Amino acid sequence: MRAVVHQWLLGRGNSELGAEGIYTWSLPAWVVELPWGGHFNVCPSAGVCAQLCYARQGAYRFSNVRAAHMRNLLLTLQDLPGFEQQMTEEVQHPRYQGAHVRIHDSGDFHSQDYLEAWLRIIRSAPGVSFYCYTKEVALFKDVVEPDPPANFGWCYSLGGKQDQAIDLDTMRHADVFPSEEAVEHHGYASQDESDLLAVYGPPQVGIPANNIPHLRRIQGAHSFGALQRIRDNQVHAKSGRNHPSDPSE
């Protein structure tokens, strides 16, 4: 009799996360075309990061990877209660006890209902540590920050439409810099050694950009946060309104 292969919802993610033993749940990055027509933005608050996103490059473009991410998305869109039940049951498995789960090494919390489903899943598994990066600042302030699960950490990530809501002095956040030297120059703590430093390390998290030549050319000498401030200032200038952002580095 052929053995039944268990289909886990959580995988080992990219090579770096897999090497740390971190499990992941991934969605497609940014805007995707749906099977029944139309488009869906998986990252509603993405800003300049959309054109610089590593999750739209390399191995993430392999057909099997894209198909798996799309299956995950469709499950959350077509049967959110079913997704919640399946994930709740899965994270009770002994293999996850004491482990870390990164929610989204691509994609983001695309709706409040989806985020609230995750919060219930997280609370159902106190022996598992969950964490994420997110650009959904307003949503997290409203839904997560008033009563966060004890086993959930998050890091706001610059380069999105809600950057202005992030207090860079007091709120844990991450910015992507063109080099390790730039991370250090701007006084951020690099998470290059471990992705978990995003939630366990100093609150100003610096991420050296991936070595993807055409993305490096687009990014230039700026961080994602600086590029977003430049864009925000340009938008406000066109609208004739003053804007407090400082695009300088």
pLDDT tens for each residue of 68-96: 999 999 999 999 999 999 999 999 999 99
- What sign results for the dihedral spanned by CA atoms 164, 166, 167, 168? negative
pTM of the model: 0.91
Q: Write out pLDDT tens, residues 177-229.
A: 999 999 999 999 999 999 999 999 999 999 999 888 999 999 999 999 999 99
Is residue 249's pLDDT more than 70?
no
The answer to whether 117 and 144 are in contact (CB under 8 A) is: no
The answer to whether 204 and 188 are in contact (CB under 8 A) is: yes
Can you tell me which residue has the tokens 């997110």? 134
- Structure tokens belonging to residue 95: 């293999």
The residue-averaged pLDDT of 115-134 equals 98
